[in-house]
A = this chain, B = another copy of it.
């Protein structure tokens, strides 16, 4: 029973994106060869260049896909059910801590690893990674903005630069992932994010 679009056809492209993402996160964009990605995906080079005009084009799609994955991760997280916006902000950080505390989860952000390598050499990938950061920060900023407009905050006259705090959030995640890569100590991520949480809790007038 052959379908109109065979399973493998749609699968090959997706498999290349998935294995590419995995390998880029692990060993970086430059050090990962097209052959390695093909082997991991169980296809040949012919298939690769049938679906993507270049290695760069695959990485671009991996980054777009990564952006959506991260958005979906937060969208489906349990903390979304929390009503109080300040508690929701803090719970979102706990959620990140929880995610990275899972030993199965790769401690690496595709956008972070990629941009570190290609910032000076590949503007296409740099901007694709930047788009990941911009979207992620915009999401976290919306959480912060909600918290700022809550009664608890407005009654205290709290006004925060939520954009720069969202950047701090992303920077803390990226920085702690980088430190983990050097030390392999899972506590680094938890501790750094916990400090961030305490800082935000203080600004929002809440005890962590």
A109 to B173 alpha-carbon distance, docked (Å): 17
**A121-132 interface code vs B (CB 8 A; 1 in, 0 out):** 100001001100
**Contact assessment for A126 and B181 in the assembled complex, using a CB-CB cutoff below 8 Å:** yes
**CB-defined contacts of A191 to chain B, threshold 8 Å:** 161, 164, 167-168
Which stretch, A24-32, A47-55, A73-81, A92-100, touches the partner chain B? A24-32
Q: Mark A181-192, 1 if CB is under 8 A from B, else 0.
A: 111000110011
One of A2-10, A64-72, A112-120, A151-159 at the interface = A112-120
| A 37-67 binary contact with B (CB < 8 Å = 1; else 0) | 0000000000000000000000000000000
Q: Complex Cα distance A202/B203, Å?
A: 11
Q: Does A172 contact B (CB under 8 A)?
A: yes
Docked pose: A195 CA to B161 CA in angstroms? 10
Provide the A11-29 mask, 1 if CB < 8 A to any CB of B, else 0.
0000000000000001110
A-B contact pairs, 5 of them (CB 8 A): A26-B120, A112-B178, A126-B181, A175-B178, A178-B178
